[in-house]
């Protein structure tokens, strides 16, 4: 509970039926012979849209010179299911989810879905502007978002590496190693003509790859 309050910046996380519904998995209703309730899924649907709009607005304001394509890729990294699952794990959301099954037996995306449902609940409870302030302060401008890695997506270091390899007729390969499942952590190795030229870590394969490309570009001054 304290982690949820701290992460979302609201004190009454369990005093509204919206939040209770957001944290109730559909299996709970079946196990307790309750009438089927799809409010959790409806809140997830709503939260997905709210989260995407907040992130889009934030990126638009923070990076005024970045083009639409790169902003879209950066937003996709933040709101992708893999990243939402990681965010949910970071605040131990599974400890608060009402379910008839252990969290480990639920679908791999169950916690990420619950995270979106909570965003939907906050929107219904407090409105868009307050929800935006909460997500900016307690998510987008915290260490939970690795902006140093996302810069690689914004500045597209991977494309620079691939263009360089084509021009110089170099063989480039990316390999990945999962270092940790919870929290999610991967290491990317970039081979150039079968020799490791750069490595980097990230919360998912894409971020690790972008960061490794940034290392390669900056260290060897590729252009």
List, by residue number, the catalytic residues: 48, 116
Q: What is the DSSP code (8-state) at residue 137? A: I
User: What b/e readout covers 165-186, taking b as 16+ CB neighbours within 10 angstroms?
Assistant: beeeeeebeeebeeeeeeebbb
No. of H helices and E strands in the chain? 11, 3
Instruction: Say how far apart CA 93 and CA 14 lie, in whole Å.
Output: 13
Q: Alpha-carbon torsion 109, 63, 185, 96, what sign?
A: negative
Q: Do 51 and 75 touch, CB atoms closer than 8 A?
A: no
Q: Do 96 and 1 touch, CB atoms closer than 8 A?
A: yes
């Amino acid at each position: 509970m304290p982690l949820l309050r701290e992460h979302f910046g609201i004190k009454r996380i369990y005093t509204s039926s919206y939040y209770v519904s957001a944290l109730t998995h559909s299996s709970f209703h079946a196990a307790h012979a309750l009438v089927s309730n799809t409010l959790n899924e409806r809140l997830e649907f709503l939260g997905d849209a709210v989260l995407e709009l907040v992130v889009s607005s934030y990126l638009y304001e923070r990076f005024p010179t970045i083009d639409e394509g790169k902003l879209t890729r950066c937003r996709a990294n933040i709101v992708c299911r893999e990243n939402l699952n990681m965010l949910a794990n970071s605040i131990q959301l599974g400890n608060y989810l009402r379910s008839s099954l252990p969290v480990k037996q639920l679908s791999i995306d169950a916690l990420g879905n619950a995270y979106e449902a909570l965003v939907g609940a906050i929107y219904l409870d407090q409105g868009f502007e307050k929800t935006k302030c909460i997500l900016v302060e307690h998510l987008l401008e915290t260490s939970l978002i690795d902006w140093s890695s996302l810069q690689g997506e914004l500045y597209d270091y991977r494309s620079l590496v691939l263009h360089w390899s084509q021009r110089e007729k170099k063989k480039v390969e990316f390999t990945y190693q999962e270092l940790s499942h919870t929290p999610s952590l991967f290491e990317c190795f970039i081979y150039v003509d079968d020799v490791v030229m750069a490595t980097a870590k990230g919360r998912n394969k894409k971020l690790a790859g972008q960061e490794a490309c940034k290392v390669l570009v900056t260290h060897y001054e590729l252009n």
